[in-house]
């Protein structure tokens, strides 16, 4: 099988290095133009291998290093734009998370619970037995079973009047 086209330069280099496929090697043997190009390429490689090139000056390597660094810097995007490209999506994601979390209820809805009764601590000083008996007789006249029931049955005005009377009595006795 013969090839209709001449070999490309990279295929000719593969033939020189001995890594080309069988079709390319056969084409070079059968095609006088490609065979001549192969001979020219081998001669050029031999000439380059035999040439004595002087080592460049140290100034050349300094200039070369600066030139390569400037070309790399010109191709590299500035740090600020890479940072901004990262920060913008991160800030948007954070804002979206905060927005979503602000609409989530913090605790499940609970049914209203009546407060547990608290133990009452009286600021009123303890009365002697005779005074207590007189107070109990007055409570019986009101139709209450005990002091707690009488106080609980007071409306707002009566409750305020009782609190004011107790404060005045404690202020007179010096216990307040």
What are the residue boundaries of the structural domains of the chain, listed by start? 9-50, 58-101, 129-173
Residue 41: C-alpha distances to residues 8, 68, 94, 104, 138 (Å): 12, 31, 63, 76, 131
pLDDT at residue 1, rounded to an integer = 44
Distance, CA of 159 to CA of 128 (rounded, Å): 24
Going by C-alpha positions, the residue among 32, 20, 18 that lies closest to residue 40 is: 32
Going by C-alpha positions, the residue among 139, 159, 138, 155 that lies closest to residue 147 is: 139
How confident is the prediction along the chain (176 residues), in pLDDT tens digits per residue? 445 688 898 999 899 988 999 999 999 999 999 999 999 999 988 888 888 878 888 888 888 899 999 888 887 766 555 566 667 777 788 888 888 777 776 665 565 666 666 555 555 555 556 655 555 555 556 666 666 777 777 788 877 887 888 788 878 777 65
pLDDT at residue 40, rounded to an integer = 93
Distance, CA of 52 to CA of 47 (rounded, Å): 10
CA 30-31-37 angle, 5° bins: 130
pLDDT at residue 125, rounded to an integer = 55
pLDDT at residue 32, rounded to an integer = 93
pLDDT at residue 93, rounded to an integer = 83
pLDDT at residue 139, rounded to an integer = 54
């Amino acid at each position: 099988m013969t090839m209709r086209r001449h070999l490309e330069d990279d295929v000719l280099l593969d033939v020189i290095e001995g890594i080309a496929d069988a079709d390319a090697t056969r084409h070079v043997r059968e095609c006088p133009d490609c065979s001549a190009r192969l001979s020219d390429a081998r001669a050029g490689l031999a000439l380059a291998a035999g040439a004595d090139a002087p080592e460049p000056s140290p100034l050349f390597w300094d200039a070369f290093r600066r030139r390569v660094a400037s070309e790399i810097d010109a191709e590299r995007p500035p740090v600020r734009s890479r940072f901004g490209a990262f920060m913008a999506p991160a800030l948007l994601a954070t804002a979206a998370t905060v927005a979503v979390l602000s609409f989530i209820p913090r605790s499940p809805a609970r049914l209203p619970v009546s407060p547990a009764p608290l133990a009452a601590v009286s600021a009123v000083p303890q009365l002697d037995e005779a005074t207590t008996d007189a107070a109990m007789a007055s409570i019986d006249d009101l139709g209450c079973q005990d002091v707690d029931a009488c106080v609980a049955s007071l409306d707002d005005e009566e409750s305020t009047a009782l609190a004011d009377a107790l404060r005045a009595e404690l202020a007179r006795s010096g216990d307040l």
